[in-house]
C-alpha cells in the first residue's frame, strides 16, 4: 500500500518526476562537447597567456570560467599530423602519408578504424566538423571535386561536415558540405594540379601585377581573389570562397549545427582557418590591432569564439557543455606571404616563453594554448601544470561516456580525464613531441633525438632544434631550452634515447 495520505493518482506524477531527475543526471554525465581548434595560434598569442599587443576577451572567458593549462600540447608541430593524431588517438609519425597533405590528397584516416567522432557517435552523440580539414578526401588518387567526395568525414564518424578541404593557401578554394562542393556549376567543372600547370588562369609567378597580397616564398601559383596559392586550379568559379567572408561563413555553420542539435548530446569539432595564411580578416577587423593582418586575424578568431559561447548561452547549453580551446601547432609569423606580420610584430612573443614555433622540435612547436570549460564539472579560474595532449581526447572522452576502447583503437591515447577536469594535477607521465625529429618529454626532462636539417628554417626563420648528436634539456630550470645538458648528463640522455627507441618499436603506448 502507498504511504498514508498518498493517493494512487499521484504515483504516475512521482514516477515521471523521478524519471526526469534520472534523465537530467544521466545527461549531466554526457555533456555536449565542443573542440575549438585554432590554426597556428601560439602560446603567447592570447591575452590569457600574457599577450598585450592583442586582446582576446572571449577566449579569455573560457580560461576565466574554466581551467588554463600551461603544459598542454598539440601532437605535432604541423597541422595535418596533429589533426590525424587528435582524431585517431595515434601518433601520426607511426603512419606513412600523414605529413602536411596536398590539397588533392586522398583521405589519410582509415575508415575502418575507431576515431574520436565514431567513439562519440557510438555513445549517442550527433557529430559534426566545421572548418579546416586538411586530412585528405576521397579514394586513392584523390577526390573527384565534381561528384560525391568520399570517403571523407562521414566515413570516419562525422554525421555532418562543412569543410575548407585543405588550407586557405591551397587550391581548390571552395567549400565542401557533406561530400559535395558548395555552389558548383556543373558546366564549370573543377580541376586541380599540384605538379604541372593546368588551364590558362593567371599565376602569381607570371602576373604579380594582379596580386593584392604577394608571396614571400612559394605560394605563387593560381591566383584566386587576388592571392596566389599553392597548386593550380581551373573551373568552379561560382563556388570559390571569398577570403574575407570565411570566418563568418564557418562560424555561421558551427552555430547552425549547435542550434539544430541542441536537444541531444552533440560533438562539434570547430576548426578555424585563422590565423593561418593567407591572413585576410573581414573589413570590420582590419586595423583593430597594431600588428597588421596577423593581429587582426587573432581578433577575428576571438570574435568567432564569442559567437560560439553566446550561442551556448542563448540556448541554455553552457552549463553542460565541455568546451576545449586549443591549437594545432605553435605559431609562425612569415609563412609564405608578405603581410607585414614580421614588420609589425613589435614586442609580441607568439610562442610566449618557449623557443621555436611551427615546424620546430623546441617547445614552441607543440606547447600551445589549452583551455577547458565545463561549468557543471570544472572549477572556474584554475590553472594546471599537468602534461596533457590532444592525442588523449579519444581515450579521455571514451571514459567520459562510459565506453571501452578496443585493443587496436587509439594506441597512443591515455585517459587523462581527471586532469582535464581539474580533479588531478597529474596528466601523462611522458609525451612524444613531433616535428622533423622526435622529442621525448618525461617530467621536466626533454630529449630531442639526433636530427638532420638546418638549425633555422630559411623561409620562416624558425629555430628548428636539429642537432646531429641530440639535445637534452631540463625545462624547470631552463624553459627556453638554452643549455644542452647531454654532455654533462650522458646517462640521462642515453636513458631517454632508449625509452624513445622502445616507444617507436612497440607501435603503441596505451596498454590494451
Distance between CA atoms of residues 140 and 89, nearest Å? 23
| 254 and 230 within one domain | no
Confidence of residue 70 (pLDDT cuts 50, 70, 90): very high
Give 31's strand partners.
none
Hey, is 356 helix, strand or coil? coil
pLDDT in tens, 374-417: 999 999 999 999 999 999 999 999 999 999 999 899 999 999 99
| 402 and 447 within one domain | no
| 175 and 102 within one domain | yes
Give me 37's grid cell: 581548434
| 313 and 168 within one domain | yes
Hey, is 74 helix, strand or coil? coil
Helix spans in 178-328 (H)? 246-260, 292-314
Structural domain for 328, as ranges:
28-181+236-425
Give the number of domains in the chain: 3
- Which residue, of 380, 407, 425, is where some domain finishes? 425
pLDDT for 160 beyond 90: yes
Contact 356, 369 (CB under 8 A): no
R_g over Cα of the chain: 23
| 52 and 161 within one domain | yes
Instruction: Give the position of cell 598539440.
Output: 74
| 222 and 102 within one domain | no
Question: How many residues are present in the chain?
Answer: 512
| 55 and 123 within one domain | yes
The CATH number of whichever domain residue 395 belongs to comes to 3.40.720.10
Hey, is 119 helix, strand or coil? helix
| 128 and 168 within one domain | yes
| 143 and 276 within one domain | yes
pLDDT at 148: 98
pLDDT in tens, 439-452: 999 999 999 999 99
Q: pLDDT over 90 for what percent of the chain?
A: 93
Amino acid at each position: 500500500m502507498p504511504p498514508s495520505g498518498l493517493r494512487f493518482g499521484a504515483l504516475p506524477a512521482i514516477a515521471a518526476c523521478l524519471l526526469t531527475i534520472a534523465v537530467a543526471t544521466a545527461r549531466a554525465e554526457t555533456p555536449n562537447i565542443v573542440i575549438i581548434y585554432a590554426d597556428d595560434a601560439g602560446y603567447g598569442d592570447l591575452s590569457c597567456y600574457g599577450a598585450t599587443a592583442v586582446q582576446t576577451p572571449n577566449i579569455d572567458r573560457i580560461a576565466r570560467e574554466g581551467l588554463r593549462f600551461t603544459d598542454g600540447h598539440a601532437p605535432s608541430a604541423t597541422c595535418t599530423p596533429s589533426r590525424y593524431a587528435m582524431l585517431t588517438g595515434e601518433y601520426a609519425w607511426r603512419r606513412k602519408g600523414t605529413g602536411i597533405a596536398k590539397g588533392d590528397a586522398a583521405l589519410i584516416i582509415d575508415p575502418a578504424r575507431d576515431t574520436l567522432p565514431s567513439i562519440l557517435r557510438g555513445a549517442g552523440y550527433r557529430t559534426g566538423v566545421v572548418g579546416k580539414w586538411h586530412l585528405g578526401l576521397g579514394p586513392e588518387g584523390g577526390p573527384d571535386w565534381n561528384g560525391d567526395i568520399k570517403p571523407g568525414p562521414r566515413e570516419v564518424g562525422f554525421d555532418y561536415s562543412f569543410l575548407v578541404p585543405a588550407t586557405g593557401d591551397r587550391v581548390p578554394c571552395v567549400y565542401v558540405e557533406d561530400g559535395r562542393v558548395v555552389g558548383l556549376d556543373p558546366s564549370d567543372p573543377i580541376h586541380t594540379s599540384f605538379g604541372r600547370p593546368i588551364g590558362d588562369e593567371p599565376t602569381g609567378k607570371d602576373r604579380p601585377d594582379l596580386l593584392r597580397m604577394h608571396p614571400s616564398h612559394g605560394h605563387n601559383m593560381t591566383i584566386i581573389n587576388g592571392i596566389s596559392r599553392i597548386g593550380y586550379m581551373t573551373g568552379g568559379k561560382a563556388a570559390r570562397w571569398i577570403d574575407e567572408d570565411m570566418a563568418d561563413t564557418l562560424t555561421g555553420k558551427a552555430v547552425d549545427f549547435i542550434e539544430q542539435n541542441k536537444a541531444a548530446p552533440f560533438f562539434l569539432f570547430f576548426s578555424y582557418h585563422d590565423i593561418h595564411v593567407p591572413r585576410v580578416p573581414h573589413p570590420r577587423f582590419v586595423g583593430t590591432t597594431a600588428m597588421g593582418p596577423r593581429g587582426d586575424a587573432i581578433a577575428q578568431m576571438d570574435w568567432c569564439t564569442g559567437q560560439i559561447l553566446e550561442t551556448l548561452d542563448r540556448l541554455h547549453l553552457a552549463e553542460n557543455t565541455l568546451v576545449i580551446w586549443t591549437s594545432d601547432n605553435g605559431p609562425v609569423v612569415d609563412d609564405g606571404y608578405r603581410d607585414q606580420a614580421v614588420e609589425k610584430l613589435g614586442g609580441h612573443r607568439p610562442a610566449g616563453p618557449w623557443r621555436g614555433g611551427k615546424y620546430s622540435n623546441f617547445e614552441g612547436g607543440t606547447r600551445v594554448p589549452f583551455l577547458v570549460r565545463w561549468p557543471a564539472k570544472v572549477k572556474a579560474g584554475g590553472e594546471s601544470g599537468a602534461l596533457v595532449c590532444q592525442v588523449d581526447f579519444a581515450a579521455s572522452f571514451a571514459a567520459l561516456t562510459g565506453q571501452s576502447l578496443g585493443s587496436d583503437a587509439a594506441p597512443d591515447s591515455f585517459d587523462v580525464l581527471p586532469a582535464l577536469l581539474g580533479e588531478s594535477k597529474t596528466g601523462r607521465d611522458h609525451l612524444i613531441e613531433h616535428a622533423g625529429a622526435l622529442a621525448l618529454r618525461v617530467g621536466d626532462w626533454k630529449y630531442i633525438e639526433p636530427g638532420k636539417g638546418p638549425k633555422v628554417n630559411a623561409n620562416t626563420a624558425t629555430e628548428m632544434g636539429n642537432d646531429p648528436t641530440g639535445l637534452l634539456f631540463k625545462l624547470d630550470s631552463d624553459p627556453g631550452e638554452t643549455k644542452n645538458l647531454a654532455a654533462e648528463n650522458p646517462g640521462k640522455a642515453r636513458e631517454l634515447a632508449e625509452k624513445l627507441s622502445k616507444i617507436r618499436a612497440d607501435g603503441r603506448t596505451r596498454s590494451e
